[in-house]
Amino acid sequence: MNKQFSILLLFLSWFAFAQQKPVLFLIGDSTMANKENPDKNPEHGWGQVLPQFFTGGIEIQNHAMNGRSSKSFRTEGRWDTIEKQLKKGDFVFIEFGHNDQKLKDSAKFTNPYTQYRANLERYVRETRAKGAIPVLMTSIVRRNFNENGVLIDTHKEYPLVVRMVADEMKVPFVDMQLLTEQLEISYGPENSKKLHLHYKEGENPYYPKGKEDDTHLSGLGAGKVAGLAVKQLKTMKTGLEKYIR
């Protein structure tokens, strides 16, 4: 009887483990984060719309948060929460850079070639230690056209460091900077406002005084950016591609 009971417990334990879905964790800043009041708020993070591109075979947890850098995301304990959950077969999208640039904020700023690089490497190592798969991503670009219609980069050395870490540590890599740069240019200086938050006074009830934001994304922009990321991910052999619609 005890032997039969033990076999039954073993079977149930195996079945429960087999039923566990892989989880895709997103860590990053406001350009990726979920936004409050999505039915009324025009602003969307691209991670917020990502689930529509995936099947129900994978769970997506978006832990990206407004204003966080590769440094503050860890010091606030946000990474610790994720690391405790990580298991073999999970995935982690890592996209920081916007707030690592903040020279006037010691809680967020990181030197790109030292602290920022070390932070990315540590996220990669700790993800792999749990048997999960890290995916490094450069920051999405800001809509920053000059008077000649040329899109000017604002992230300087940070995207280069992501590329360096991805190359040296053999990490799956999605160049969101390149993809979103191409997207902004294809829309052009004026039409690209639709990808972001540009509203005149009285035009949108959520921004009664108007809004001009070239960093954060509209619903259209978030959908386009997420679609570009997924299209790239579908060509990569990480195991994630089988969950893409």
Please give the positions annotated as active site: 30, 212, 216
d(CA 208, CA 29) in angstroms, rounded, equals 25
Nearest to 23 by CA among 87, 94, 84: 87
- 219: its two tokens: 């619903």
Provide the 3-class DSSP secondary structure of residue 167.
helix
Pairing of strands 173-174, 197-199: unpaired
CB 244 within 8 A of CB 53: yes
d(CA 242, CA 87) in angstroms, rounded, equals 18
For 92, the enclosing helix (H) or strand (E) is strand 91-95
- 151: its two tokens: 């899109």
d(CA 181, CA 84) in angstroms, rounded, equals 35
d(CA 199, CA 121) in angstroms, rounded, equals 40
CB 53 within 8 A of CB 226: yes
d(CA 207, CA 66) in angstroms, rounded, equals 19
